[in-house]
Structure 1
Amino acid sequence: MTNADYPYAGRFPVHRTLPERGTPREDVLAELRAMAAEEDAFWETGKCSGTMYSGDHEHYRFLTEAFGLFAHVNVLQRDMCPSATKLEGEILAMALDLLHAEAVTDTTPGGLVTTGGSGSILHAMLAYREHAAARGLTGVNVVKPETGHPAFDKACRLLGMELRSVPVDPVTTVVDPDRMAAGIDDRTVALVGSACNYGYGTIDPIGDLAGLALDRGVGLHVDGCLGGFILPFGQELGYDIPVFDFRLPGVTSISADTHKYGYAFKGTSTVLFRDRALRDAQYFHLPGWSGGKYMSPGIEGSRSGGLLAETWAAMVQLGREGYQAYARDIFSTADAMKAVVGAHPELRVMGSPTFCFSFTSDAFDIYHVADLMRGRGWRFNGQQYPNAIHMAVTRPQTQPGVVDAFAADLAEGVAYARTMEAAGKQAFSGAIYGGVPGGMSLEAEEFIVSVMDDMLDVELSVPPGP
């Protein structure tokens, strides 16, 4: 065990039982303010990949006030809180509009607000399974590119669906539609394409996948969790971003996270359906329960109205003009950072990415670069197969000086990597989603389990004495 296993144990009380007497509110808030200020200082430098999409404390204060007005409300009780119907409905209407649901003329589109990208993907997969089951089709499968988010694998495992993963082109980092076609059979209910994928920031050939889905009579889910609220504005700004939304007839569902480039707080996302009948297939009904007739449109039951309020507030306050202005800054910053990487012959950007990108090296282990840059305050996410460094550009990177710092520190990192490679040294950094540092000294699954155990269970024990 290390001191890092027990954060703040040396500074603040450690609670293993409820305190005998309650702590004064101001003392509680003072402790929280101290932790928040120190942790904010880490990402405020702009050296953190992804994670903090807005980075604007004035915006956060605005959302906090909106959240606080409805934080105590359970949106299940619409008779007491009719505002939830307005807020949720308008969030979905705005998201559907952004992703061109007006192009759908043969069905009526709809959607759900969920708790995040994984929740949206889980609900989409549930909808496809249940819609198939209503037609008598069981034992179904989904075909996705290997770069598709692990939430698809998780959803299929939880729902008892087969997940078929298709390799991507190692140069373009996108999937070949012919290889996707080879994975389809009479029990396939949906294909998956990313716009864009998390790993490389590249967009699968959604147009081709949509045509394939139509030809084979299966659904196509576009994972726009990362790109759904920024790529449309990139298109408006003239960037070479292909159509990926409901303008393509074969696209039957899209996930898009409001808590990423929608600039809402963590805890909301949208999953949108070309046809409400597909969405409605996942509804849960239990009319014979002794507690009353029960129905839930999604997996969650109780939800805080605050999440709907702050998400709605973010979207309405920013408007198209605000979103487009932020997109302009992010795309131009991403272009500048990719140019910095391209100036080093030892490095190469993978594929043709958008606002987030990954880079690797054929000359040395790229994790040596990550090691040096961690010491300069950078927090990257590591990729594997091949090893690569991932950078998701968000608003904190658009502040003055960040690109210059990236250029200077990357140059040092490349020089350091050359030295370490020549000396036969092993890099410390590893490819752990979410940025957990450390090398892979154990077998991968054992290591991941140990990391999870540390996060969940170590704090249950009393910190060791001095």
Structure 2
Amino acid sequence: MRKKVELELGQAKLDIEKKLVPQGKGVTRHLSLPSTGHTSEWILEEMAQMDVEGESHTNWKHGKLSGAVYHGGDDLCKVIVSAFERYCVSNPLHPDVFPAIRKMEAEIVAMCLRLYNNPDGAGVTTSGGTESIIMSVKTHRDWARATKGITEPEIVVPASAHAAFDKGAAYLKIKVHTIPVDPVTRKVDLKHVSRAINPNTIMIVGSAINFPDGNQDDIIALGKLAKRNKIGLHVDCCLGSFIVPFLEKAGYPTDLFDFRVEGVTAISCDTHKLTGPYLYHAHSTHTYQGNSVIMYRNAELRTYQYYVNPTWTGGVYASPSIAGSRPGSLIAGTWAAMQYMGSDGYLESCKSIVGATRAIAKTITTDIPELYVLGNPPASVVAFASKHPQVNIREVGDVMSKKGWHLNAIVQPAAVHIAVTRLTVPVVDEFIADLKDAIREARTNPSGKGTMVALYACLPVEGG
């Protein structure tokens, strides 16, 4: 049995590498510096060769990609590229050299704070959602140590929360209590959260929305728990970013999730998901990958995030987050995208994306008896699982992959999700038709494997 398992794992590794590494005729790996620098024409040609379509390549422009790319259109792309080019060598670590970047960064944070109903709060931009979450964990740890004397900190996290909370806790030596979610509502079990809180608890967590199935925890109830126990509450809005704050204006029913909820001390929001479901990345209204904002209820709490070394030989060293030097070009691109989109642009993006998401969920519920939707997702993600004994949802995912769809497999329960972006909106009918075909194929001609891999992120390949 061990040999069989090792054989299957080895084959799975090969399959994953095949999907992740550019392959094909003419693809060459460059593992050492060229003896002489190449021309820009050669570089662009080589990049084009790496992007050749094949079995391992997904063309995001066709709209068959779940999340990952949040494109705001060619016009917005030009705006962002222009901003990027103008500030390509800027570094906010040196604000006296690049004051414009410092100004734009402050304005990005201010705009996000107002969007999340806390104009008097404080925040910092980071490299992405993971860093925002890790910074919040670090901030609450240091706050609890300074104000409550906690030296063995613990956090309480839903099983549906992003893995970045576990990652941050591993880095910072914090104990994690992982709480199950209700199998029907997909919200974190509040009774279990309450029982897990103890004198060492520094923070509890809720999502609006979570990555696995796109559902939203009961933030109001979590806020009451946080306030009663005098601990932090981080609301992860990285995926909800610029969709969830516009649900109410777009006419969709929604529960409070932001700083209007008493007890909320921190919120993370990915500005690189600004509009596609967010801002530009590649579907809709996204900025370059690599920008996020961590917001706090007040400036006092934010001070626990900073690192300051006044006695370093090189002079006083201070930084607001993990990174020292940072690419100011990403900040400029984010600022430009937000100015270009405006509130009206994000609202229209919200309407189209959430409308498409709910159309998919409704069709699955009413017209595809073999599947069911996990919970009642309010925004841009729909997860579906099989309720038919002869339909393996992983096999359905495999068939969808053959039809060109790049979806996400999740676990507990086994399911597949699609994160809708503006690129997805025009191909919703095609998605439904392909999904029905995939179910028929998986049911009538099962392979018996279901090899779709639940892969969110991975380690570098060899040589990288």
- What is the TM-score when the length of structure 2 is the normalising length? 0.89
2:349 maps to 1:326: yes
Q: Structure 2 matches for 1:433-448, cutoff 5 A?
A: 433-434=456-457
2:269 maps to 1:256: yes
Q: Does the Cα contact within 8 Å between 2:58 and 2:406 map onto a contact in 1? A: no
**Which of 337, 341, 352 matches 2:376?**
352
Amino acid at match of 1:22: G
2:443 maps to 1:418: yes
Partner of 1:116: 128
Amino acid at match of 1:78: P
Partner of 1:132: 144
Q: Does the Cα contact within 8 Å between 2:126 and 2:294 map onto a contact in 1? A: yes
* Offset at residue 6 of structure 1 (A): 5.3
* Offset at residue 188 of structure 1 (A): 0.6
Partner of 1:456: 461
Q: Structure 2 matches for 1:149-168, cutoff 5 A?
A: 149-168=162-181
Partner of 1:205: 218
Structure 1 stretches of 4+ moved >4 Å: 36-41
Partner of 1:463: none
2:314 maps to 1:291: yes
Partner of 2:62: 45
Q: Does the Cα contact within 8 Å between 2:26 and 2:49 map onto a contact in 1? A: no
Separation (CA, whole Å) in 1 of partners of 2:343 and 2:306: 32
Change (3 A) 1:235 1:73: same
Separation (CA, whole Å) in 2 of partners of 1:38 and 1:75: 38
* Offset at residue 267 of structure 1 (A): 0.3
Amino acid at match of 1:377: G
**Identity across matched positions, percent:** 38
* Offset at residue 7 of structure 1 (A): 2.2
* Offset at residue 35 of structure 1 (A): 3.8
Q: Does the Cα contact within 8 Å between 1:254 and 1:273 map onto a contact in 2? A: yes
Structure 2 counterpart SS, 1:118: helix
**Which of 55, 63, 70 matches 2:80?**
63
Q: Does the Cα contact within 8 Å between 2:22 and 2:50 map onto a contact in 1? A: no
2:250 maps to 1:223: no
Separation (CA, whole Å) in 2 of partners of 1:228 and 1:326: 12
* Offset at residue 55 of structure 1 (A): 5.4
* Offset at residue 209 of structure 1 (A): 0.5
Separation (CA, whole Å) in 2 of partners of 1:8 and 1:55: 29
* Offset at residue 249 of structure 1 (A): 1.6
Partner of 1:371: 398
Change (3 A) 1:233 1:251: same
* Offset at residue 10 of structure 1 (A): 3.6
Structure 1 counterpart SS, 2:305: coil
Separation (CA, whole Å) in 2 of partners of 1:55 and 1:389: 25
Partner of 1:397: 424
Q: Does the Cα contact within 8 Å between 1:130 and 1:281 map onto a contact in 2? A: yes
Q: Which moved more, 1:240-249 or 1:57-66?
A: 57-66
Structure 2 counterpart SS, 1:48: coil
2:390 maps to 1:385: no
Q: C-alpha offsets along residues 225-265 of structure 1, whole Å, 9 cap, x if unaligned?
A: 00021111111112111110001121100000001124111
Q: Does the Cα contact within 8 Å between 1:387 and 1:431 map onto a contact in 2? A: no
Partner of 1:464: none
Separation (CA, whole Å) in 2 of partners of 1:214 and 1:258: 28
* Offset at residue 32 of structure 1 (A): 2.1
Partner of 2:8: none
Structure 1 counterpart SS, 2:417: strand
Partner of 1:93: 110
Separation (CA, whole Å) in 1 of partners of 2:29 and 2:452: 31
Q: Does the Cα contact within 8 Å between 1:368 and 1:420 map onto a contact in 2? A: no
Amino acid at match of 1:407: I
Q: Does the Cα contact within 8 Å between 1:67 and 1:310 map onto a contact in 2? A: yes
Structure 1 counterpart SS, 2:63: coil
Structure 2 counterpart SS, 1:259: helix
Between Structure 1 and Structure 2, how many residues are aligned? Answer: 432
Change (3 A) 1:27 1:398: same
Structure 2 counterpart SS, 1:191: strand
Partner of 2:36: 21
Structure 2 counterpart SS, 1:272: strand
Q: Does the Cα contact within 8 Å between 1:253 and 1:274 map onto a contact in 2? A: yes
Structure 2 counterpart SS, 1:357: strand
* Offset at residue 58 of structure 1 (A): 3.0
Separation (CA, whole Å) in 1 of partners of 2:271 and 2:108: 9
Q: Does the Cα contact within 8 Å between 1:196 and 1:204 map onto a contact in 2? A: yes
Q: C-alpha offsets along residues 308-341 of structure 1, whole Å, 9 cap, x if unaligned?
A: 1000001111000000011111011111211232
* Offset at residue 31 of structure 1 (A): 2.2
Separation (CA, whole Å) in 2 of partners of 1:23 and 1:380: 37
**Which of 280, 289, 293 matches 1:266?**
289
2:353 maps to 1:341: no
Separation (CA, whole Å) in 1 of partners of 2:289 and 2:160: 23
Cα RMSD between the aligned structures? Answer: 1.9
